[in-house]
Amino acid sequence: MDWTATAGLLAGRVAIVTGASGGVGRGLARALALAGARVVVAARSPAGGQETVGLIEVDGGQALFVATDVCDASAVRRMVEATVRAFGGLDIVVHNAASTLARPTPLEDVDDAMWAEQAGVSLDALHHLAHAALPYLRDTGRGRFLVLSSAQGQHGGAMNPTYTALKAAQRGFVKALAREWGPHDIVVNALAPAALTDAARSYLEADPERTREAMKSFPLGRMGDMRDDIGPAAVAMCSDLWRYVTGQTVNVDGGYYTAL
């Protein structure tokens, strides 16, 4: 990846990335920082969050870890306030955090605890983040609110109805909030990645035949690197380059979902 293409696109911007202690969130946080943003890594895990901060600093960027449970409204509010204290404002919110319980589970086996945890991370967190961030995003005149959704919410993943429903719900959130926040020049979008996370890699590497079959679904023949494939798209969506795109779900997935 030639990062000169995105260098400076987010200079002077301040971004929050939730769930950035690893996986897709870490990749996005690093990409935003490489594009010039100062990044708050909001996650529950101090070890993973600090590791992301360290990686950003090695890349020459500036970042701060703030321990945050996105299901806790007061914790989210404190995290946003800490962001503004540390970096002087807030321009970009990326809600990437996902539940660790989002495992394949047939409909009839979904219990209330499983639902509450996943709905908390996917939907309550959107409420908390939107409420806490709105005053700052409104002030900046270039606010961005980006939600990490999934193609499963579009094509209907068979094995995990809870995850599928919640990722689809986030698309409804984005479409409506884009209309509500448009007059404030706040752009609201969703990004549906196909990222080769550690979990995806472990799943695929356990069965080479499964990998061959799965990769047939990707015209580009591979899943995306979190920083180098997914990250630049997120940078563009958060930059002025995409300032006239709002209310959309953008699939960054190597051509996996092409049904629209």
Tell me: does residue 115 bind other proteins (CB under 8 A).
yes
Q: Which residues contact 72 (CB under 8 A, 6 or more apart)?
A: 128
How far apart CA 131 and CA 159 sit, in angstroms, is: 33
**Tokens 């990044």 belong to residue:** 39
Q: What's the min distance (Å) between Cβ of 214 and other proteins?
A: 17
Tell me: does residue 101 bind other proteins (CB under 8 A).
no
**Tokens 């895990």 belong to residue:** 45
How far apart CA 140 and CA 243 sit, in angstroms, is: 13
Among 21, 96, 160, 189, binds other proteins (CB under 8 A): 160
Tell me: does residue 110 bind other proteins (CB under 8 A).
yes
Among 73, 82, 86, 200, binds other proteins (CB under 8 A): 73
* Contact window for other proteins (CB under 8 A) among 12-20, 37-45, 173-181, 237-245: 173-181
| Helix residue spans in the chain (DSSP H) | 23-34, 46-58, 73-87, 112-119, 125-140, 152-155, 161-181, 198-205, 208-215, 231-238
The one catalytic residue among 136, 163, 256, 257: 163
Question: Are the beta carbons of 17 and 29 closer than 8 angstroms?
Answer: yes
Among 170, 189, 239, 251, binds other proteins (CB under 8 A): 170
Tell me: does residue 131 bind other proteins (CB under 8 A).
yes
Tell me: does residue 127 bind other proteins (CB under 8 A).
yes
Longest CA–CA separation in the chain, Å: 52
Tell me: does residue 169 bind other proteins (CB under 8 A).
yes
How far apart CA 39 and CA 15 sit, in angstroms, is: 5
3-state SS class at 108: helix
* Contact window for other proteins (CB under 8 A) among 22-30, 47-55, 118-126, 211-219: 118-126
Question: Are the beta carbons of 49 and 91 closer than 8 angstroms?
Answer: no
**Catalytic site includes residue 163:** yes
Tell me: does residue 165 bind other proteins (CB under 8 A).
yes
* Per-residue contact string for residues 210-239; x = within reach of other proteins by CB under 8 A: ------------------------------
Q: By the criterion CB under 8 A, which residues form the site for other proteins?
A: 73, 106-108, 110, 112, 115, 119, 123-124, 126-128, 130-131, 134, 152-162, 164-180, 247, 260
Query: Known catalytic residues?
Result: 163
